[in-house]
């Protein structure tokens, strides 16, 4: 069977030994910057930036004589980005991420450390960034395909995974959020928007700027999620009772302990089997948005349900093509084509061709 997973190229130029040899001045700058950065961004963002700086300064160690960051020339930084594209096989998105990390460090040095480095300027921003583009084939799922997966999970007796899939389809939440859903958040009488959506009883932490991210209430399509949730709850309670475990997390490991994000992702890795394309959690976020818009829900309401700050997010997550949309002008065209005068003209042309 053909492998449906999306492949990512990985080449590592860092090691603990190399990191220990990074120019102490560079390491001191990074540590100071990250200390300040951590007061404004999430721990996960700090780790991403730290990893990027390890890559960059290991490169400087290997190819730029371990120079101070302050003394690097523009062509040397350009060489690094060229190395990333040619040797590390960076995508445009990865290029942008590294560019952002180095720009942030440079801006901080220029604005905060100016007393120590009065002549320093951010030269990273002069490096041209490639246009962002989709580099992996996107999996677009129909309702029939996802409910086919749901039925397959039922056939192999995976009610918990059915509950998870229904929550994904019904909420459009991100993968990292599902391990944080608790039974306290779900009240079948706490409804919103004419009773079509379950509203979580409290706000949840979601991706966003700041140390604690953003907190919003989640809205879940009731009829998509509730039947599978109710099916799973008594089974969950039995597992926890048998293992002497007490907590309020919806998803659990086989020993009753709360499921982690990595646990949940491991379940999803098996979901490709009944599908014709690769399943990944973000695909249901696209499905959620596309389905609601196709059903005629106002774009403003879809944006409100996700608490998106920009309507541009609708364009990102709506997978409907021009052919899938309902165009009012097509009805006008159909009416014009069906007019008697048009039909008579068409008949004349056909008769002329026959002669």
Does 181 lie in the same domain as 90?
Answer: no
Count the neighbouring beta carbons within 10 Å of the beta carbon of residue 281: 19
pLDDT, tens only, 121-131: 999 999 999 88
CA distance 154 to 233: 15
pLDDT score for 9: 45
Beta-sheet pairing, 197-199 with 191-192 = antiparallel
Count the neighbouring beta carbons within 10 Å of the beta carbon of residue 70: 15
User: In Å, how far from its chain's centre is CA 10?
Assistant: 20
Q: Identify the weakest region by mean pLDDT among 132-136, 140-144, 171-175.
A: 132-136
- Between 209 and 264, residue with greater pLDDT: 264
The pLDDT mean for the chain works out to 88
- Which pLDDT band, with edges at 50, 70 and 90, does 7 fall under? very low
pLDDT score for 157: 97
CA atoms within 13 A on the CB side of 252: 25
1 found inside a domain: no
Does 303 lie in the same domain as 154?
Answer: yes
User: How far is CA 229 from each of CA 107, 201, 240, rounded to the nearest angstrom?
Assistant: 49, 16, 16
CA distance 70 to 106: 9
25 found inside a domain: yes
Residue 164 has pLDDT above 80, yes or no: yes
pLDDT score for 329: 74
CB within 8 A of 20, min separation 6: which ones? none
Does 332 lie in the same domain as 312?
Answer: no
CA distance 105 to 114: 13
Q: Which residues pair with 182 in a beta bridge?
A: 249
Residue 117 is part of which domain span?
A: 16-126
pLDDT score for 312: 76
End-to-end CA separation in angstroms for the chain: 57
227 found inside a domain: yes
6 found inside a domain: no
- Between 312 and 14, residue with greater pLDDT: 14
Does 307 lie in the same domain as 227?
Answer: yes
User: How far is CA 62 from each of CA 21, 139, 302, rounded to the nearest angstrom?
Assistant: 10, 40, 50
Residue 228 has pLDDT above 90, yes or no: yes
119 found inside a domain: yes
Phi, psi of 198 (to 5 degrees): -80, 130
7 found inside a domain: no
Beta-sheet pairing, 204-206 with 214-216 = antiparallel
User: In the chain, how many domains are there?
Assistant: 3
pLDDT (average), residues 160-169: 97
pLDDT score for 139: 78
pLDDT score for 307: 85
pLDDT, tens only, 37-82: 999 888 888 999 999 999 999 999 999 999 999 999 999 999 999 9
136 found inside a domain: no
Does 287 lie in the same domain as 184?
Answer: yes
CB 265 within 8 A of CB 276: no
At 221 the three-state DSSP class reads strand
CB within 8 A of 213, min separation 6: which ones? 42, 205, 206, 207
Does 102 lie in the same domain as 191?
Answer: no
pLDDT, tens only, 215-227: 889 999 999 999 9
Count the neighbouring beta carbons within 10 Å of the beta carbon of residue 58: 20
pLDDT, tens only, 244-278: 999 999 999 999 999 999 999 999 999 999 999 99
Residue 235 has pLDDT above 70, yes or no: yes
pLDDT, tens only, 173-193: 988 899 999 999 999 999 999
Kind and range of the H or E run holding 192: strand 191-192
Q: Which of 22-36, 84-98, 269-283, 305-319 has the highest mean pLDDT?
A: 22-36
Return the structure tokens found at 56: 């960059």
pLDDT (average), residues 188-216: 85
Return the structure tokens found at 22: 């990074």
- Which pLDDT band, with edges at 50, 70 and 90, does 296 fall under? confident
At 197 the three-state DSSP class reads strand
Does 97 lie in the same domain as 46?
Answer: yes
CA distance 212 to 195: 31
Phi-psi region of 157 (alpha: psi -120 to 50; beta: other; left: phi over 0): left
pLDDT, tens only, 307-349: 887 777 777 677 666 666 666 676 777 776 676 665 666 666 7
CA distance 113 to 219: 45
112 found inside a domain: yes
User: In Å, how far from its chain's centre is CA 219?
Assistant: 18
Does 241 lie in the same domain as 161?
Answer: yes
Count the neighbouring beta carbons within 10 Å of the beta carbon of residue 221: 21
Closest C-alpha among 96, 309, 315 to residue 209? 309
pLDDT (average), residues 299-305: 89
CA distance 24 to 59: 15
The residue count for the chain: 355
Does 294 lie in the same domain as 203?
Answer: yes
CATH no. for residue 195? Answer: 1.10.443.10
Final residue of a domain: which of 126, 153, 173? 126
């Amino acid at each position: 069977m053909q492998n449906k997973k999306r492949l990512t190229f990985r080449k590592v130029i860092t090691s603990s030994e190399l990191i220990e040899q990074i120019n102490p001045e560079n390491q001191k700058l990074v540590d100071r910057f990250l200390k300040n950065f951590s007061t404004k961004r999430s721990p996960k963002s700090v780790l991403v930036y730290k990893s990027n700086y390890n890559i960059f300064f290991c490169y400087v160690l290997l190819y730029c004589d371990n120079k101070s960051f302050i003394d690097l020339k523009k062509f040397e930084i350009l060489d690094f980005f060229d190395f990333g594209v040619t040797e590390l096989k960076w995508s445009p998105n990865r290029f942008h991420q590294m560019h952002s990390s180095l720009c942030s460090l440079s801006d901080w040095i220029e604005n905060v450390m100016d007393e120590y480095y009065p002549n320093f300027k951010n030269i990273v921003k002069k490096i041209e960034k490639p246009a962002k583009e989709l580099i992996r084939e996107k999996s677009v799922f129909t309702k029939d395909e996802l409910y086919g997966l749901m039925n397959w999970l039922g056939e192999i007796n995976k009610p918990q995974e059915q509950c998870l899939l229904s929550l994904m389809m019904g909420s459009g939440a991100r993968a990292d959020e599902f391990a944080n859903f608790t039974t306290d958040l779900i009240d079948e009488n706490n409804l919103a928007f004419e009773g079509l959506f379950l509203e979580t009883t409290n706000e949840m932490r979601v991706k966003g700027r700041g140390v604690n991210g953003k907190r919003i209430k989640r809205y879940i399509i009731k009829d998509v999620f509730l039947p599978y949730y109710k099916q799973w709850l008594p089974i969950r309670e039995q597992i926890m009772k048998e293992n002497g475990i007490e907590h309020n997390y919806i998803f659990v490991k086989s020993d009753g302990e709360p499921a982690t994000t990595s646990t949940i992702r491991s379940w999803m890795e098996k979901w490709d089997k009944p599908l014709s394309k690769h399943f990944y959690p973000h695909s249901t976020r696209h499905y959620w948005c596309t389905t609601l818009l196709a059903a005629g829900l106002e774009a403003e309401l879809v944006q409100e349900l996700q608490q998106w700050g920009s309507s541009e997010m609708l364009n990102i997550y709506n997978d409907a093509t021009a052919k899938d949309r309902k165009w009012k002008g097509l009805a006008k065209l159909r009416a014009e084509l069906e007019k008697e005068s048009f039909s008579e003209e068409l008949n004349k042309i056909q008769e002329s061709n026959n002669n």
